[in-house]
Amino acid sequence: MKIFQPKKWQYLFITAFAFFLLESCKPKGTQSAAGGDATKAYVAPGKYDEFYNFVSGGFSGQMSVYGLPSGRLLRVIPVFSTDPEKGWGFSEETKPMLNTSHGFVPWDDAHHPELSQTNGEVDGRWVFINGNNTPRIARIDLKTFRTAEIIEIPNSAGNHSSAFVTENTEYVVAGTRFSIPPDDANGDVPIDSYKQNFKGNVSFLSVDPKEGHMKIAFQIRTPGVNFDLSHAGKGNSHGWFFFSCYNSEQANTLLEVNASQRDKDFIMAVNWKKAEEYLKAGKGRKQAVRYAHNIYSDKTHSATSTIETEITVLDSKELADMVYLIPCPKSPHGCDVDPTGEYIVGSGKLAALMPVYSFTKIQKAIADKAFDGDYEGIPVIKYEAALHGEVQKPGLGPLHTEFDANGNAYTSMFVSSEVVKWNVKSLEVLDRVPTYYSIGHLMVPGGDSKKPFGKYLVAYNKITKDRYLPTGPELTQSAQLYDISGDKMKLILDFPTIGEPHYAQAAPAELINKNSLKFFKIEENENPYAAKGEGQAKVTREGNKVHVYMTSIRSHFNPDNIEGVKVGDEVYFHVTNLEQDWDVPHGFSVKGANNAELLIMPGETQTLKWVPEKSGMFPFYCTDFCSALHQEMQGYIRVSPRGSNVALEYSTGKTPAPSAAKEPAK
């Protein structure tokens, strides 16, 4: 046979050998990194995790809650996006939560969760998170793991450098990514009039220490740049807030080129104590604006939305000693303050080094007036005068830095897909570990507070490629857990995430789980449509509105037979869950409903609006498997044609007399 001719045979052998050589030259990828220390991430069935991990859902608009170190998904909290599963944004009670000055906005892009802090330490009361697209900040109550408040930010577009807090949660901040003409100015101007008409601003929202309610205390008007991220000073830098900004070129088109021209952009340092003084002294200008402020009450089990009409603006150009700019190389992203509050790390995402600023030096530079001129009236501190030092060759594309309790920093490198550990004081790179792939933010529990808990680091990746079974063109995003308790970082677990994770926070479980509510007390239910017992169940008609005051308890609705509803009626099912036990929600759904289901927690009342469009028989049932008789938990609503004379009747458990069968409506 031909194939055994010596020449051909030799040729084949050489080819195979060449292939072998090529294979071994290829970089080692996923396979070599497999073999994480799984035992460290193992949490036995029935055991609790050590940390709660609150992860932004990115373009899902929600926030997910994971357990660490297991990476088990515990809950997805609906925030800015509707969630038919929970009736969020579909029930009459929750619809006002998604109201804005643009009307009902059922989606957003949630990036940066931040736990409330007391004395610079996470306190486990609330998580704040930003809505990027239609600028908003939400506050999530960690007693209920639900969104308790959403406030819209005026004069903003792309609320990106948010929702970070000061060390006693005095303020939560917002900063506009897009500069735009202010809301009270005419926005109908040529786009290339950017430099004249477009303004930036950062907002300080005060937080009521008891109830958590937010209020826009003041906004600082700034030059028209893009704000990216921010962090509060702490310890000796308490009273200051630092915002990274890019596009100091003030480009309005092709930013990938035009906003990358200058060698340095800025970190903006805001002395908010000074701003408070100006505010008190009446130096602020009242501006007419419109923004929604939505609050959910656990007493009435419903939300209210108020359109607020005024804010106070402090001008960075006119008011001295309040705002300074510090040069920072190449379009900085992360702006992170170490646990002592002394060091501020700027991550110029296009730079080959990372500057670390010293708060003491910044103060000295201000006192000495070591300025390099100004930028639209704001003093620019000399780079060297503010600098503690530079981390040389940390990696490519530094984005974001968190800290441990031992003076080390961990920076994510987007371009080189790695986490780099370095010493904050000596600026020496200590270790580096790959991520799979393209890490965005990273997170150490308590890593942006005065008291990092260390132990773990989680990388949140943008690209997963070959890390998981493929699921068509859209692949999962992922988180990767590293053990940072030793000198060397060790990958111990990969887990998929919902949406696209940006920033995240984590807190020790015991700080939060002891306060977790088990159910709402029925006697404290102040919903005007609550039926706080089966005796209060009823159906009433007001014109074409039919109100069904319905109760649910294992395993029946009261009423479960309703007649006399007509086509075109607006039917409101106000369902009260009478259970007073942990983990016994009831669901409610009716055939053909154009919105969603209700998921009603024990002691709570929720309302589903339903407008029947044709006559007939419409079953409804409980959607949450509540008991052994869950499948029996159902009822019927009879819908008659418009103008029909079928009387409004309702009952539960009424058995008809044999001869009493009613005729169909004529």
Partner 1 sequence: MNKHLSIISRILVAFASGALIAVFLLPAWRIDLFAPQYPEGLSMYIWINKLSGDVEIINGLNHYIGMKHISAEMFPEFKYLTYVVIFFMALGMTAAITGKRKILLIYIIATIIGGLLVLYDLYRWGYDYGHNLDPKAAIQVPGLSYQPPVLGHKRLLNFDAYSFPDAAGWIVIGAGTLCILVWLTEWYINRKKRKT
Q: Which residues bind partner 1 (CB under 8 A)?
A: 553-554, 579-582, 627-629, 632
Side-chain-side CA neighbours of 631 within 13 Å: the count stands at 1
For the bound state, the minimum distance from the C-beta of residue 552 to partner 1, rounded and expressed in Å, comes to 12
Q: CB-wise, 13 or 582, nearer to partner 1?
A: 582
Burial of 340 (0-12, 13-18, 19+ CB in 10 A): middle
Question: How far is residue 57's CA from residue 657's CA, in Å, rounded to a whole number?
Answer: 56
DSSP states along 321-377: TSEEEEEEESSEEEEEE-TTSSEEEEEETT-SEEEEEEHHHHHHHHHTT-EEEEETT
Q: How far is the CB of 531 from partner 1 (least distance, A)?
A: 17
CB 464 within 8 A of CB 59: no
**Of 340 and 627, CB closest to partner 1:** 627
- Alpha helices by DSSP H, 349-477: 359-367, 383-386
Give whichever of 188 and 523 is closer to partner 1, judged by the CB atom.
523
Beta bridge partners of 153: none
Nearer Cβ to partner 1 (318/510): 510
The distance of closest approach from Cβ of residue 628 to partner 1 in the complex, given in angstroms and rounded to an integer, is 7
The distance of closest approach from Cβ of residue 583 to partner 1 in the complex, given in angstroms and rounded to an integer, is 8
186: tokens are 């005419």
User: 3-class SS at 510?
Assistant: helix
Q: For the chain, what is the radius of gyration of the CA atoms? A: 29
Nearer to partner 1, 84 or 533 (CB): 533
Least distance (Å) from partner 1 to the CB of residue 514? 14
Q: Which is nearer to partner 1, 11 or 582 (CB)?
A: 582
Looking at the chain, the number of H-run helices and the number of E-run strands are: 9, 44
Q: Please state, in angstroms and rounded to a whole number, the distance separating the CA atoms of residues 500 and 59.
A: 6
User: Least distance to partner 1 from the beta carbon of 558, Å?
Assistant: 14
Minimum distance between the CB of residue 586 and partner 1, rounded to whole angstroms?
12
Cβ count near 556 (within 10 Å): 18
In the beta sheet, which residues pair with residue 206? 171, 215
Distance between CA atoms of residues 427 and 466, nearest Å: 34
Of 193, 296, 304, residue with least CA distance to 250: 193
Q: Which is nearer to partner 1, 292 or 553 (CB)?
A: 553
Q: Is the dihedral of CA 390, 234, 131, 71 positive or negative?
A: positive
Q: Which is nearer to partner 1, 619 or 653 (CB)?
A: 653
| CA atoms of 479 and 496, how far apart (whole Å) | 6
Furthest CA-CA distance within the chain: 101
When the beta carbons of 292 and 633 are compared against partner 1, the nearer one is 633
Locate 200 and state its tokens. Answer: 């930036």
Q: How far is the CB of 561 from partner 1 (least distance, A)?
A: 18
Residue 572: closest CA among 534, 540, 620: 540
Beta-bridged to residue 222, according to DSSP, are: 200
Q: How far apart are alpha carbons 57 and 170 in whole angstroms?
A: 26
Smallest distance, partner 1 to C-beta of residue 580, A = 6
Least distance (Å) between residue 581 CB and partner 1: 5
> Shortest gap between Cβ of 582 and partner 1 (angstroms)?
8
* Residue 283 to residue 281: CA distance in whole angstroms: 6
Residue among 315 and 534 whose Cβ is closer to partner 1: 534
CB of 655 to partner 1, least distance (A): 11
Q: For residue 203, which of 130, 103, 97, 125 has the smallest C-alpha distance?
A: 130
Q: Which is nearer to partner 1, 189 or 629 (CB)?
A: 629
User: Nearer Cβ to partner 1, position 466 or 581?
Assistant: 581
The residue assigned the tokens 């039917």 is 571
Tell me which H or E stretch contains 599.
Answer: strand 598-600
CA atoms of 194 and 179, how far apart (whole Å): 8
Which CB sits closer to partner 1, 207 or 553? 553
Q: Rounded to the nearest whole angstrom, what is the least distance from the CB of residue 578 to partner 1 in the complex?
A: 9
Distance of closest approach, residue 625 Cβ to partner 1, in angstroms: 11
DSSP H/E element including 317: none
Question: DSSP label at 15?
Answer: H
Closer residue to partner 1, CB minimum distance, 303 or 626 = 626
By the 8 A CB rule, do 205 and 156 touch? Answer: no
